[in-house]
A and B are shown apart, each in its own frame.
Chain A
């Protein structure tokens, strides 16, 4: 039906003038793509109203000194209008090089980067290792797969809570360590042990997603490639290096990108493990939440400014990552 409409408009306008004007081009484009726009309209609407608007509002907040004492609020029947004012880039300056900025921002920044790198490397290598094992012809493969996805099937909230019980002083983990005559760190109290605990739990939570994604990728590599490689006498390592890894490239690039984004913004694990305490183990996201909602008075402006900084870091990273991928793609043909 729409094909006929589309043809008619195209033909009619071409007869009238050789080079269509802007209005005409918009009209024609509309006729050709209206169903595409109709299909994306709901999402564009949702993103525009629920994401873009708060984002713009949030960026505006970072240029003010808004906190819970001077924002609009209602106490009983009295409505108090907002009284915060525009302060320009003061928030950013204060965060990045104000007094105590090392303890407030840079220490968390360094830890967030370390956290992201360590977690994603662990997720990827463990996930790939398990996916390779599951891709073999082994007895009980289906059962292993079911059990190994389990951490994913249980809500993070529940498993992190379980880990908290296990990691507490005198909990199951230290029980095991004392049985083995190993030192028993205070997982939830000692700064370094807190970081180790956070990485441990997040690795446990994140591996199943990587494993399943990579398993899907492995299964999509044609068996003929392995046969050919084997015919040519490739060793297992060579088959892995020259058949498996290139075959996984597209899946890997997607899951690594998502892994970095999710881990960088991983709120749940750290928040649920330590709450808003444990200042050393807070990554930037949880720290920003603490500023905005975990203290009195709530510092909305600084919290949002952290958010904008975080978002910028991720966007810059993604842009570079994609360019790097594209270059690799070209180099490898």
Chain B
């Protein structure tokens, strides 16, 4: 900040002479810069879009090696893969399992995280710092250090191959991250709102529930989006802890299409597209909150 006032003094002497036509409104760029920006954005958009479109395209080819001759698909586009996946495999069971597990994890995680985020954001209590620190450190736990003891723990509790077990395991990562995220969001909500609520006779819980939570909806939406998306198609934990095929989540069930002898890439492609639909839909619902929800907090904390 302080540098901005000093530095340009030297540049000011040179700059105006070099660029006399400076009548454009702020934020607008010249035609060349505009064209370049559009060019860069179009290129980036193509790169972002291509793999998604590609798998959609491959999923329309009936043979399992069609991805090697993509040109051939055009002549024989069919929905046979989808029909096979939907009617002849455990797709709906897996879909239901994945939806149940990621849905409950999301609700559970966001609820727990919200109160913690609020407490950490508003109240300076002893143990405040260590709590923040442990929320961050939990982010760092590599899968390898937890997965083995969790495996033994779940097996002792008889929770291996159960929804509860998987939800508990997922909560270990989603709760701290959402708490962190929401703390940042609560920081952006003016404390005066809490104070007004307290003056009007609300308890701290009442203030939180009736005033702050409704205001924090964008932050909650982002946290929910994050955890749903992470667990909707999570692989390593699900494939290690879910053992019987009627408990598989989507991402694990999908692996059954690929064995050492026979890889049905076409079926996998179709299922992958089907997996992507709910998350894209959810994403569409929350996307206008994403920018504010994600960093409103981080930029001010």
> Which of A's residues lie within 8 Å of B, judged by CB?
1-3, 29, 33, 35-37, 39-40, 42-44, 46-47, 50-51, 53-55, 57-58, 61, 71-72, 129-130, 133-134, 136-138, 144, 146-159, 161-163, 165-166, 168, 170-172, 175, 204, 208, 212-217, 219-220, 223, 225-230, 232-235, 238, 242-243, 246, 250-251, 254-255, 258, 261-262, 265, 267-268, 271-272, 284-285, 288-289, 291-293, 300, 303-304, 306-308, 310-311, 314-315, 318, 333
Contact = CB atoms under 8 A, between A and B. Distances in A.
Contact of B272 (A134, A158, A306): A158
9 contacts: A40-B115, A50-B172, A55-B141, A148-B45, A168-B68, A250-B298, A261-B140, A307-B148, A314-B140
A212 B115 CA distance: 25
Contact of A39 (B115, B146, B147, B296): B115
A137 B27 contact: yes
A242 B10 CA distance: 14
B142 A33 contact: no
Interface in B226-241: 229, 232-236, 240
A58 B148 contact: yes
Given A220-B300, A255-B298, A304 B34 contact: no
B152 to A, nearest CB: 7
| Dominant secondary structure at the A interface | helix
B29 A136 contact: yes
A220 B51 contact: no
A137 B28 contact: yes
A58 B146 contact: yes
Contacts of A223: 26
Nearest to A223: B26
Interface string B88-103: 0000000000000000
Given A43-B116, A136-B27, 5 more contacts: A153-B229, A229-B8, A242-B3, A262-B139, A293-B240
Given A162-B272, A216-B291, A229-B8, A289 B147 contact: yes
Contacts of B287: 146, 149, 153
Interface residues on B, range: 35 or more
Nearest to A53: B153
Nearest to A268: B235
A217 B294 CA distance: 10
Given A72-B152, A250-B301, A307-B146, A43 B280 contact: no
Q: Which of B51, B147, B283 has the most CB of A within 10 A?
A: B51
Given A40-B120, A238-B8, A292 B295 contact: no
A234 B125 CA distance: 45
Contact of B11 (A58, A219, A238, A293): A238
B233 A155 contact: yes
